[in-house]
Chains A and B, each alone.
Chain A
Amino acid sequence: MSLDAAKNAYTIGKPYAEIDNDILSPVEGFPEKTWWTWFIISLTGLLVYLGVIGYSFVKGLGIFGINSPVSWGVYIIGLVFWLEIGHAGTMISAILYLFRQRWRTSINRAAEAMTIFAVMTAALLPLIHLGRPWMVNWLFPYPNDRGPVWNNFNSPLLWDVYAISTYFTVSLFFWYMGLLPDFAAMRDRAVIGRNQFKAKTAIGEKLLEMRVWLLKVAALGWVGSGKAWHHYEKMVMLLAALATPLVMSVQSILSFDFVTSVIPGWHSTILPINFITGSIYSGFAMVLSLVIVMRSAFNMKAYITDRHIDNLGWVMLFTGMLVFFGYFVELFMAYYSANGFEQYVWTYRFVGEYAWAFWLTMVTILLPPHIMWFKKLRNNHTLLFIMTVIINIGMWFERFVIVVTPVARDFLPSSWRLYVPTVWDVLVVLGEFAMFFTFFLLFVRVLPSIAFTEVKMDEAGDLAKGKGHH
Chain B
Amino acid sequence: MNTFKLPQKMMTILVGFIGIGVLSMAVSFLLDVQRGWAGLLAFAWYLTIMGLAGGFWSATQYVTQAKWSVVVRRIPENTVHVLLVAFALLAVVATLGIGNLYEWSHADIVAHDVILQKKAGYLNTPFFWVRIVIYFAAWYGIGMYLLKLSKSQDESKDPHVSHQLLKSGIVYLTIFAFTFTFAVTDFLMSLEPHWFTALYPMYNFAGMATTGISTMIILILLIKKYGGLKAIGPDHMHDMGKYLFAFNTFWAYTVFAMSMLTWFANLPEETYFYEKRFTGDWAYFTSFLWFGHFLVPFFYLISRDTKRSEAHLMNAAWITAFMGFVDVIWMVYGAFIDNTANVAHAETAAHAEQAAHAAPHAGHFIHGFPFGFIEIGLFLGAIGVFGFIVLRAFEKGNQVPEGDPGLQESLDFHQPL
Contacts and interface: CB of A to CB of B under 8 A. Distances in A.
Interface of A: 1-4, 6, 233, 245, 248, 252, 256, 259-262, 267-273, 321, 325, 328-330, 332-333, 335-339
Given A248-B253, A325-B177, A259 B416 contact: no
A268 B198 contact: yes
B3 to A, nearest CB: 27
| 6 A-B pairs closest in CB distance | A270-B198, A338-B118, A269-B199, A333-B198, A260-B264, A337-B196
Contacts of A245: 249
A248 B246 CA distance: 13
Given A269-B200, A338-B118, 10 more contacts: A6-B65, A233-B416, A252-B257, A268-B198, A269-B257, A273-B202, A329-B181, A329-B201, A332-B185, A339-B269
B199 A270 contact: yes
Interface of B: 65, 115, 118-119, 122, 159, 162-163, 174, 177-178, 181, 185, 189, 196-202, 249, 253, 257-258, 261-262, 264-265, 267, 269, 405, 416
25 contacts: A3-B405, A6-B65, A245-B249, A248-B253, A256-B261, A261-B265, A262-B265, A267-B261, A267-B267, A268-B198, A269-B199, A269-B257, A269-B262, A270-B202, A273-B202, A325-B177, A328-B178, A329-B181, A330-B198, A332-B181, A336-B185, A336-B196, A337-B196, A338-B118, A339-B196
A332 B115 CA distance: 16
B163 A2 contact: yes
Given A256-B261, A336-B122, A269 B198 contact: yes
Contacts of B257: 252, 269, 272
Contact of B159 (A3, A256, A337): A3
Contacts of B201: 329
A328 B198 CA distance: 11
Scoring B65, B189, B199, B258 by chain A CB atoms within 10 A of each residue's CB, the highest score goes to B199
A236 B101 CA distance: 51
A260 B118 contact: no
A261 B163 CA distance: 47
A333 B162 contact: no
A261 B264 CA distance: 8
B261 A260 contact: yes
Contacts of A321: 174
B185 A269 contact: no
Contacts of B115: 338
A267 B265 contact: yes
B196 A333 contact: yes
Nearest to A100: B68
Contacts of B265: 259-262, 267
Contacts of B405: 3-4
Contacts, number: 70
A271 B254 CA distance: 11
A4 B159 CA distance: 9
A252 B181 CA distance: 21
Given A3-B159, A262-B265, A269-B199, A336 B65 contact: no
A329 B159 contact: no
Contacts of A259: 261, 265
A50 to B, nearest CB: 37
Nearest to B122: A336
A252 to B, nearest CB: 6
Nearest to A263: B265
A335 B185 CA distance: 12
Contacts of B163: 1-3
B112 to A, nearest CB: 15
A3 B181 contact: no
Contacts of A248: 253
A25 to B, nearest CB: 32
A262 B271 CA distance: 12
Contacts of B178: 325, 328
A3 B162 contact: yes
Contacts of A256: 261
Nearest to A4: B159
Nearest to A330: B198
A338 B122 CA distance: 11
Contacts of B253: 248, 252
Contacts of A269: 197-200, 257-258, 261-262
Contacts of A233: 416
Contacts of B185: 332, 336
B264 A329 contact: no
Contacts of B119: 336, 338
Nearest to A264: B267
A248 B65 CA distance: 25
Contacts of B122: 335-336
B185 to A, nearest CB: 6
Contacts of A267: 261, 265, 267
B113 to A, nearest CB: 10
Nearest to B114: A338
B249 A329 contact: no
Contacts of B197: 269, 333
Contacts of B261: 256, 259-260, 267, 269
Contacts of B198: 268-271, 329-330, 333
A2 B201 CA distance: 35
B278 to A, nearest CB: 18
Contacts of A262: 265, 267
Contacts of A336: 119, 122, 185, 189, 196
Contacts of A329: 181, 198, 201-202
Nearest to A273: B202
Scoring B181, B189, B262, B265 by chain A CB atoms within 10 A of each residue's CB, the highest score goes to B265
A339 B196 CA distance: 10
A237 B262 CA distance: 35
Nearest to B185: A336
B199 A273 contact: yes
A301 B325 CA distance: 52
A142 B112 CA distance: 56
A154 to B, nearest CB: 8
A262 B249 CA distance: 28
A234 to B, nearest CB: 9
Contacts of A328: 178
B56 to A, nearest CB: 14
Contacts of B416: 233
A269 to B, nearest CB: 4
Nearest to A465: B412
Nearest to A333: B198
Contacts of A338: 115, 118-119
A325 B159 CA distance: 32
A233 B415 CA distance: 13
Contacts of A335: 122
Nearest to A156: B264
A142 to B, nearest CB: 26
Contacts of A6: 65
Nearest to B200: A269
Nearest to A262: B265
A75 B402 CA distance: 57
A349 B125 CA distance: 32
B306 to A, nearest CB: 15
Scoring A233, A267, A271, A328 by chain B CB atoms within 10 A of each residue's CB, the highest score goes to A267
A339 B115 CA distance: 8
B401 to A, nearest CB: 14
A3 B199 contact: no
Nearest to B262: A269
A258 B44 CA distance: 37
Contacts of B264: 260
A339 B177 CA distance: 24
Contacts of A332: 181, 185
A69 to B, nearest CB: 18
A276 B358 CA distance: 32
Contacts of A330: 198
Contacts of A337: 196
Nearest to B405: A3
A270 B198 CA distance: 5
